[in-house]
Structure 1
Amino acid sequence: MRRTGVRAALLPLAAGLLTLTACGSGTDSGSGTDSEGRSAPKLSVSGAYMPEPVTDDMAGGFLTVRNTGDSADRLTSVESAAFGEAQLHTTSKGQMRHVTSLPVPANGTLRLGRGGNHIMFLKPEHKPVKGEKVRVTLHFSKSGHVTVSMPVKATNFVPEK
């Protein structure tokens, strides 16, 4: 088989493995210790989903980032080729506010959910519909980036706790 044939044959396999890793038990990131002997952030991402948007111009994204390391990290940005822009938001007293980062505490959890911290996706290439998956890259200040596949769920979807 020519080199291009092998590459073409392996692409679907690689894409499938990426989806399984990102959607399964989570994606791990980080290792080692800092100068004070604390373990670096060790991140896993789970529960990612996007409710089917009710408008054509924006969508929300929700997930959980678990850090089993002894050092905190920060979610600093999000990107997706399916959207022209993605922002981190927090909600307080019913008001959404764009923020530049969200903390991921040491040995703790950052939860992005309805009515609280979330991802706001703007300028979609097309309106995502239930059953599709949106590839999203999360950028962290210490742990680099983690790519997840975010399934589009029903508009009123509520995950089990």
Structure 2
Amino acid sequence: MNRRTTLAGVLALSTGLTLAGCSSSGSEPELKVIGAFMPQPVNDMAAAFLVVQNSGGSSDRLTSVTSPLSDDVTIHETKNQTMRMVTSFAVPAGGELDLERGGNHIMFMKLKQQPKQGEKVSMELHFEKAGPIKVDLPVKETTHNPKKQ
């Protein structure tokens, strides 16, 4: 093997390793929303429930939610049957954030209209690292709870 062939091989190998190191596969959050729904509200407030799955190699945080249904959409945690607003929720790498009835959830205050069962409500989830995710929430009956079916 001559010196030129060896040098070309080393350069090709190091370039390939450098590009592999810059690759985003596995090192970025890869988020997907499943099971989203909103129970039909009975007053000027509503809640939304869903699961954010992260199949990526790094964690992320849900930082806010926006929707044309309300100018006041917040995220709440529930501990010891007490609800309080929080600034973010962790979405672990290779894990999920579960927003469910009786637990952590999204809260819509001062609704601009009353969505009815069978309609859809649009919202957008905002994250610390990943781009926003648009979700169309199907409005279910007021007592809907997929965990108890």
Please classify the TM superposition score into its range, dividing by the shorter chain length: 0.7 to 0.9
**Does 2:84 correspond to 1:97?**
yes
Partner of 2:14: none
User: What is the TM-score of this pair, normalised by structure 2?
Assistant: 0.81
- The separation in 2 between residues aligned to 1:93 and 1:54, in whole angstroms, is 24
Q: Map 1:63-74 onto structure 2 (within 5 A).
A: 63-74=50-61
**Does 2:36 correspond to 1:44?**
no
**Does 2:106 correspond to 1:119?**
yes
Q: Map 1:3-82 onto structure 2 (within 5 A).
A: 32=24, 39-55=27-43, 57-82=44-69
**Does 2:135 correspond to 1:136?**
no
Query: Alignment length, in residue pairs?
Result: 126
State the shift of 1:127 in Å: 1.2
- The separation in 1 between residues aligned to 2:120 and 2:126, in whole angstroms, is 19
Letter of the 1:52 counterpart: Q
Letter of the 1:46 counterpart: I
Structure 1 unmatched runs, 5+: 1-30
Structure 2 unmatched runs, 5+: 1-22
* Higher radius of gyration, 1 or 2: 2
Tell me the secondary structure at the aligned position of residue 113 of structure 2.
coil
Letter of the 1:134 counterpart: V
Letter of the 1:82 counterpart: L
Identical residues among aligned pairs (%): 52
- Cα RMSD of the aligned pairs, angstroms, is 1.4
Deviations 1:120-142 (A, max 9, x none): 00111111110110001000000
- The separation in 2 between residues aligned to 1:127 and 1:144, in whole angstroms, is 29
Moved over 2 A (4+): none
> 2:56·2:93 contact (CA, 8 Å) conserved in 1?
yes
- The separation in 1 between residues aligned to 2:71 and 2:139, in whole angstroms, is 18
Letter of the 1:53 counterpart: P
Letter of the 1:54 counterpart: V
User: What is the TM-score of this pair, normalised by structure 1?
Assistant: 0.75
